[in-house]
Structure 1
């Protein structure tokens, strides 16, 4: 556990008065405690080593889930993140709300928290590897007048079906695009992948697959959307290999909640 907090990185939702206000309050309180504040100022969406030359104790993401996802993509894997919902929508990934910020300074400085590990996944297309994603990869057809055939490979087995797209998500991401497409919620501590077809002609259901890597190919050009924030064009018949990323995302938590996903979705 961290013995003394020296430096903290801040990720604040842009052009949002509510998140900027919360950010200012937290920075002021931490600065008075002798903590160095490192401001996230540039859009380093491809630079996963943005802070690698500057030692960090942890980071604070203030905004919604999108701000949190961006923080994890930018920071070195060993840096844990505290997520504050301010200016976001549902804030499913957040640990505290804007109304609780005055209660978290002492626990943070005293190390009175634990780290919640979350699985991330990564995709390989040919010799190229994507950024790791916390939530999901979404494959969508590029041509709206054609329904492509998606082929899913698992070890020596394969399944081919016509559909508009496919979502491959982590348990954390099961509350995102997958849930919107009638997929199940997968407990965030499970080690697996959720596959959710989009607009399947034969109504193929969502299913849970082992986290030992799956492959997908499509007979038409597609778009690969990474965590809803980055997009890459995939030519037809290219094999996309998806597997667990070597490093988990580390969330700062103050209390245990095994029903966190349902609670965040309003099922209280």
Structure 2
């Protein structure tokens, strides 16, 4: 799902040692939050999708800049004119969210982060909400273009005008195998911070 290896407990040089540790049950499991996205259309039954890292709602290639209205628990929060919106888990905060200027979140924090992509504004910033909240996104776009929702950059769905998009914490979770004692901030420094020095 990525190239940085942020979730990896080992690199190629110690892969054999890591396999032995797993076979000997010398590891621990980290339970990570997942997202569930639900699309409700006027002409169809609701469809749901799960994601480990993020749900991205973006304009198509030939679609002009789009307005995305954000609601949390049905309370209006903000409208972003942007290329798209990323809703990320803490696990996914070091992926597309980070590239779009969003914050890095420690994976054991129970929250979600909403980050606009290339917002047409000088003051558009990420918003961190509780994992127990329900996020609703309304995208306004014309007839000559597409809005696409993608989950972890793997599964993509073309949205129709008037579709309701809700993102919440999934009932499912993902277990990450950890075979070393390297902490989150050690990994952060090695994978991200030191590369920029």
Q: Same-fold call, TM > 0.5? A: yes
- Matches of 1:116 and 1:260 in 2, distance apart? 16
Larger Rg belongs to: 1
Unaligned runs of 5+ in 1: 1-64, 67-88
- Is the strand fraction higher in 1 or 2? 2
Unaligned runs of 5+ in 2: none
**2:38–2:49 contact (8 Å) kept in structure 1:** no
> What is the Cα deviation at residue 260 of structure 1?
5.1
Structure with bigger RCO (C-alpha 8 Å, 6+ apart): 2
TM-score by length of 2: 0.84
Count of aligned positions: 182
RMSD: 1.8
| Aligned counterpart, 1:251 | 176
What whole-Å deviation, never above 9, does each CA across 1:69-97 have from its counterpart, x for those lacking one?
Answer: xxxxxxxxxxxxxxxxxxxx321121111
- Matches of 1:117 and 1:252 in 2, distance apart? 9
Greater displacement, 116-125 / 148-157: 148-157
- Matches of 2:176 and 2:91 in 1, distance apart? 12
Aligned-partner SS, 1:146: coil
**1:92–1:264 contact (8 Å) kept in structure 2:** no
Alignment partner of 1:263 out of 189, 192, 197: 189
TM-score by length of 1: 0.63
2:164 matches 1:239 = yes
- Matches of 1:176 and 1:250 in 2, distance apart? 18
| Aligned counterpart, 2:138 | 217
Aligned-partner SS, 2:65: coil
**2:53–2:93 contact (8 Å) kept in structure 1:** yes
- Trace 1:55-134 onto structure 2 (pairs within 5 A): 65-66=1-2, 89-126=3-40, 127-134=45-52
